[in-house]
Amino acid sequence: MQTTHTPGFTPDTPLILGMMRLHDHPVLTSPARLADWIAARLEEGLNVFDHADIYGGGECERLFGDTLRAQPLLARAVRIITKAGIVPASMDRSPWQVKHYQAEAGYLKNAIDRALTSLAMEQIDTFLIHRPDPLMQVEEVARALENAVAAGKVRQIGVSNFLPEQWRWLAANTELPLACNQSQFSLAHTDPLFDGTLEAHLADGLRWLAWSPLGGGKLADRIPADILDRAREETGLDETGLAIAWLRQIPGTPVPVLGSMNPDRIRSALQGTQTVLPRPIWYRLLESVRNTAVA
């Protein structure tokens, strides 16, 4: 499959495995069971796992780290993305109990140290600021990130849910390249194709890591059954494979961050990464979800 890539990140990674719901799978909360699951993904060629300090209130990083402590060989084989900068209301220790952003130098420095401990890793592959913070003092944050990279705690940095001028302001204040932006992009969320956001990623060399690539699992409700049936018959892909193939065909080859931990769903997604959709199918799916004819 011919693909085009922007610089940075991991152009050889077809899928990123999102760990946001790890704590919701009791069968995977034991180190032995989770180790088997991780090993199976590595055999499929998937070695990048996406975390954040708030996933499961910190439990997701801890569960993953407990597994890596028990299986040190796995720790050498995996690559970790993690994010920080959001404080949910339930984790706000002030009397206000309000969700807020905290992209502050000290907060991010401590978050990186906590993640290394929780995940039992010597280095975070990619560290992201989870959300743009209107109170961010960009020079101080940039120095904290540069220090983390210089100390070997982080290999590369990026952002999450940033708009172009937001990431450009950070980029203008650091000598570190921004490797990626993790943001919503899918057949169910196509605005970036029409508002210039995709082209901004391409122009600035940020790899798009696309969260919710399956549209929350509701694409089948938005695409007429007859169109899905015809697309399945012609491509051999199910809804998951079609959604992933559609996304990966976009210039820059966005990398889906798959939230499902179901092995069958992961295999369907992998099949989608290996399939090129005929242009008429690509556009017919786009037309269906937008409920608007191609102009």
User: Sign of dihedral through CA atoms 145, 148, 150, 156?
Assistant: negative
Q: Total domain count for the chain?
A: 1
pLDDT of residue 173: 98
pLDDT of residue 189: 95
In a domain, residue 3? The reply is: no
Which range of residues forms the domain containing residue 68? 16-218+250-259
The β-bridge partners of 127 are 82, 157
Distances in Å between the Cα of 59 and the Cα atoms of 67, 72, 126, 135, 183 are 12, 20, 20, 28, 23
In a domain, residue 239? The reply is: no
Any idea which residues carry the catalytic annotation?
55
Torsion of CA 279, 285, 290, 294, to 10 degrees: 30
In a domain, residue 276? The reply is: no
In a domain, residue 174? The reply is: yes
Return the exposure string of 253-289: e unless at least 16 CB atoms fall within 10 Å of the residue's CB, then b. bbbbbbbbbeeebbebbbbbbebebeeebbebbeebb
Residue type, position 186, single letter: S
Pair of tokens at residue 166: 């937001």
pTM of the model: 0.95
In a domain, residue 267? The reply is: no
**CATH of residue 54:** 3.20.20.100
In a domain, residue 294? The reply is: no
Which DSSP category does 7 fall into? S
| Span between the terminal Cα atoms of the chain, in Å | 28
In a domain, residue 238? The reply is: no
pLDDT of residue 169: 98
How do residues 135-194 score in pLDDT, each as one tens digit? 999 999 999 999 999 999 999 999 999 999 999 999 999 999 999 999 999 999 999 999
In a domain, residue 113? The reply is: yes
Contacts of 109 (CB under 8 A, 6+ apart): 144, 147, 148
